[in-house]
A and B are shown apart, each in its own frame.
Chain A
């Protein structure tokens, strides 16, 4: 028996994303951000997107390309402080921004990927974070209902992938990637290295290919993946 081959081209993979789609982007800062997939999303140009990402990257990279190209209607994120374009567009009303506490963002995505509808937490109780969330009593304690967060697409960056889409991530580049890969209707992966089936030890697979739809091998890494010189 052999496992299905999910390798595809970047053009074909991104062409499925149309106007109005919701798109999760892996990454925390530079590590784990799928810059090549985002670049292709800019080239193909679907608009009115809902982008879900931990942060908005920095000027001149990643999410910033989508913002500058006017493709983003709504951003669901935990922090955009390093991107002046995102701050400006939010203040001008050019984009809608929903801020979600980072751990709640991760858990809402994880829960969606786990096939559940929501969870109850006391994070944010009695602060402005509570606004609009139903209070629920559990075992005599009060919590807030947080709903699962899913998306039409997830764009993921992996260190290594095989043709089935088994993935391993490098260092702090894991972050939101495996969570988002599980939470989208269609998950597209860019991998720095394609390895033969079996080359990733089963014990060392960080995310099973069962969650992956298309794997794209990156021919070479553009400079944007490198160390930022400050």
Chain B
């Protein structure tokens, strides 16, 4: 995948972060989305370790040793930032105050199941806050490369790995396409410049609905 396709995927996901939202961004690609959100957009970033209103990342020489986000990056306070304990932090998540959670994934299924915390026998560092973020945000978005490093599909009919949450993913952003997960199944919404339907079907492990009208490109 070209870095160009990755940038367009990030930019596309950023377009869904709109004024007024409270948003949590997972480690990796989800956090990179932030670079494509216009600085003037009024958004409240939440971090699991007890911050609402997370400010920009600081270099180590400017960092406050007591102020990190849940991914361990040194962040800053902005006017209006609040700190709280971990129970309050997850009260925000579980009670539906989080408008959007963007997460990475190993696998996503056409029914909205998500697997992103454990590969038995290979990778088992613990789930951190992923279970609550994937189950309780008002909208759950997954951002990931369309296939794994070997080219295998990551969007599947059913997940094969232990689930993080069952049936809660609303939207998937990849370097090839944007899908929504609805009661009627996996819906193709947009397709990346440079991708075509044949290629997309071959790289996707589940059938999906294609709209009759022209697909928007991103």
Which residues in A have some Cβ–Cβ distance to B below 8 Å?
A: 28-32, 54, 77-82, 87, 90, 97, 99, 101-107, 109-110, 121-129, 159, 169-179, 225-230
Extra 18 A-B pairs, beta carbons < 8 Å, given A28-B86, A126-B166: A54-B86, A78-B126, A90-B124, A99-B127, A102-B127, A102-B128, A102-B132, A103-B94, A103-B132, A106-B85, A107-B90, A127-B162, A128-B163, A172-B47, A172-B68, A176-B85, A177-B85, A226-B65
Contact of A79 among B60, B87, B128, B136 (CB under 8 A): B128
- State how many angstroms separate the Cβ of B189 from the closest Cβ of chain A: 27
With known contacts A29-B68, A31-B65, A126–B86 Cβ distance under 8 A: no
Contact B126 A128 (CB under 8 A): no
Partner of B86, one of A122, A129, A175, A228: A175
B148 in the interface (beta carbon within 8 A): no
Q: Is the CB of B165 within 8 A of A102?
A: no
* Residues on A with beta carbons closer than 8 Å to the beta carbon of B72: 29, 82, 228
B residues at A contact (CB < 8 Å) = 47-51, 60, 63-70, 72, 74, 77, 83-87, 89-90, 93-94, 118, 124-132, 135-136, 162-166
User: B85, B135, B164, B166: which contacts A178 (Cβ < 8 A)?
Assistant: B85
Contact call A174/B50, Cβ cutoff below 8 A: yes
Quote the shortest CB–CB distance from A123 to chain B (angstroms). Answer: 6
Contacts of B64 in A (CB 8 A): 171
Q: Are B129 and A78 in contact (CB under 8 A)?
A: yes
Q: Taking each of A79, A104, A227, which has the highest tally of chain B beta carbons within 10 Å of its own beta carbon?
A: A227
Is B126 touching A172 in the complex (CB atoms < 8 A)?
A: no
Q: Give the Cβ gap from A127 to chain B, nearest Cβ, in Å.
A: 4
Q: Verify B48–A102 contact, CB threshold 8 A.
A: yes
Shortest distance between the CB of A68 and any CB in chain B (Å): 18
Q: Find A28's partner among B60, B70, B132, B136 (CB 8 Å cutoff).
A: B70
Partner of B125, one of A54, A79, A226: A79
Q: Could you tell me the distance between the alpha carbons of A228 and B61 in the complex, rounded to whole angstroms?
A: 10
From A28, A80, A227, contact of B49 by CB (8 A)? A28
Give 22 pairs: A residue, B residue, CB < 8 Å, sorted on A: A28-B50, A31-B68, A32-B66, A79-B125, A80-B126, A81-B125, A97-B126, A99-B126, A101-B127, A102-B132, A106-B90, A107-B87, A110-B87, A123-B94, A128-B118, A128-B162, A169-B83, A172-B68, A178-B85, A225-B65, A226-B65, A229-B60
Which of B48, B118, B127, B164 counts the most chain A CB atoms within 10 A?
B127
Task: Tell me the complex Cα distance, A95–B63, Å.
Answer: 35
Instruction: Report the separation of the CA atoms of residues A31 and B8 in the bound assembly, to the nearest whole angstrom.
Output: 35
Compute how far the CA of A97 lies from the CA of B126 in the bound complex, rounded to whole angstroms. Answer: 9
Q: Are A171 and B67 within 8 A (Cβ)? A: yes
Assembly CA distance A104 to B86 (angstroms): 10
Query: Considering the chains assembled together, what is the distance between the CA atoms of A169 and B66 in angstroms?
Result: 10
Closest B residue to A113 by beta carbon equals B87
A227/B85 in contact, CB under 8 A: no
Given contacts A101-B132, A125-B166, A127-B162, contact A78 B127 (CB under 8 A): yes
Which 4 A-B pairs give the minimum distances between C-beta atoms? Answer: A103-B90, A81-B125, A106-B86, A79-B126
CB distance from B32 to the nearest CB of A (A): 17
Q: How far is the CA of A31 from the CA of B85 in the complex (A)?
A: 12
**A225: which B residues are within 8 A, CB to CB?**
65
- Measured between beta carbons, the chain A residues less than 8 angstroms from B135 are 122-124
A220–B47 Cα gap in the complex (Å)? 30
Q: Which of A31, A103, A169: most chain B CB closer than 10 A?
A: A103
